Structure 1
């Protein structure tokens, strides 16, 4: 019994030594892994702070997605000072800054390491109408302050902002007259209907909220207050194309479509 007990104790002691050795090896391995990861991160941080990983000038920024806005103008809007470490640049903050511009609907900014730089992809706001706060003939001074542009969603774009940022200023054919606050809530709907109308419409007068007035190829059209019947009103207007064959358009003062079920024509006296 004594010899058996001594053998058992010896085996137990060896197992304990092996376990302690295994634990030491695991601890050493974990320490080496921590040092290796820390060294890699430190090396990466060090590398990205070197001149090669620094944004030195605007030429390292690429702009994509712009057709109307000039590339230099967009670069001038970036809240970036040069030189600037790529690690200190916050792409989301730059994107939000660009999206605060009335000419830019959306922006995505990403960092590039090879070669170091910034990639900016934007979605422009496309002006669909020239917007006059007051009728052009009623303004004698500061004409540009009286006009701007609106996109299909009804976002107001100041004339000077668009003019200074655009590389190819093209004026829309459609005009809208009246304070923006009076029509912006339903602009997207009215523009969608007007743009699909077979009858050519050149101007939308929203000065009087109780009576929207259109300038069309058939003459002046009164719609009354904006309503969901706008599509029906424009459909009736299209059916009235036969008027030029029956009446002299110069004799018509305006077409009244405030009630599309009973359209009326007001003749000149």
Structure 2
């Protein structure tokens, strides 16, 4: 019994020593891990506060539009960032939301670039489908009250009631229009696309009046197969189209599919009737087509 008791006490003492040794190792490992984590955090903090992580000029911002690199001048005009500025204080999501509020931009994504420090911005521009022109109101009362002599009637330069179309276009408000009816300022679009191709379709009228039905109208025009160069929306009860067949009185913007289907059937009209003899085509009622002649 004495031999068994002495062996048991020896084993217990060895086990205690082993446990103490393991406990010391765990404590040392914990201390090293803490020191390593603290050192890494301190190193990252030191790196982030270095002057290298600063945007100093707009050349450090790369902006692309449809895989096309934009100039630093255009980038600065869109971003309007102040320099110098810490790269870590810039919020990419906020910049993206600000860019999407630009009238010529539909989508935007912003990300930080670490080496070299900078920003990478990808934008998607709105695609204009028509030129929106709103003609200014003309003062016709002065023209009606003004006496017109035979001499002045022949002199266009001295008659204020005779407008030069080039001068009139300069005073009219011109913007661009996308397929959803959103206005794109002319200057904004040309700044992003100095060599961009402008649409051939022109819309005349107040955008606030025809915006409600513009999407359906444009879809009908683009899918009709008839070449339309101008849409006059000044009278919402009678839209007037300039087409390859002549002037078309569309009426109110309803039953568009039926009206353009009827118009499509008149493609052979120029070969049957001289276009100069056609005053206008009336499809206000698609079931009763009228061709008015001079």
Indicate whether the TM-score tops 0.5.
Answer: yes
In structure 2, relative to structure 1, the CA distance for the partners of 1:74 and 1:192 (3 Å cut) is farther
Q: Which residue of 1 aligns with 2:53?
A: 53
Shift of 1:171: 3.3
Q: State TM-score, norm by structure 2.
A: 0.77
Structure 2 CA distance, aligned partners of 1:225 and 1:29? Answer: 82
Shift of 1:38: 2.9
CA contact (8 A) 2:54 2:87 kept: yes
Given the alignment, which residue of 203, 222, 232 partners 2:230?
Answer: 203
Q: Which residue of 2 aligns with 1:105?
A: 106
Q: Which residue of 2 aligns with 1:260?
A: 286
Given the alignment, which residue of 157, 161, 182 partners 2:184?
Answer: 157
Q: Which residue of 1 aligns with 2:65?
A: 65
Q: Which residue of 2 aligns with 1:86?
A: 87
In structure 2, relative to structure 1, the CA distance for the partners of 1:38 and 1:186 (3 Å cut) is farther
Which protein is bigger by CA-based radius of gyration? Answer: 2
In structure 2, relative to structure 1, the CA distance for the partners of 1:162 and 1:5 (3 Å cut) is same
Shift of 1:252: 2.4
CA contact (8 A) 1:68 1:169 kept: no
Q: Which residue of 2 aligns with 1:132?
A: 133
In structure 2, relative to structure 1, the CA distance for the partners of 1:264 and 1:46 (3 Å cut) is same
Q: Which residue of 2 aligns with 1:247?
A: 273
In structure 2, relative to structure 1, the CA distance for the partners of 1:187 and 1:20 (3 Å cut) is farther
* Count of aligned residue pairs for this structure pair: 267
Q: Deviations over 1:166-185 (max 9, x none)?
A: 42364321111222122223
In structure 2, relative to structure 1, the CA distance for the partners of 1:26 and 1:84 (3 Å cut) is same
Indicate yes or no: 2:205 matched with 1:178: yes
CA RMSD of aligned residues (A): 3.0
* Unpaired runs of at least 5, structure 2: 140-162
Q: Which residue of 1 aligns with 2:22?
A: 22
Q: State TM-score, norm by structure 1.
A: 0.84
Query: Which deviates more from structure 2 when the two are superposed, residues 241-250 or residues 139-148?
Result: 139-148
Secondary structure, in 3 states, of the residue corresponding to 1:240?
A: coil
Shift of 1:136: 9.2
Structure 2 CA distance, aligned partners of 1:35 and 1:217? Answer: 81
Indicate yes or no: 2:96 matched with 1:95: yes
Q: Deviations over 1:74-121 (max 9, x none)?
A: 332214222222211211111111111101111111111122221111
Shift of 1:128: 1.6
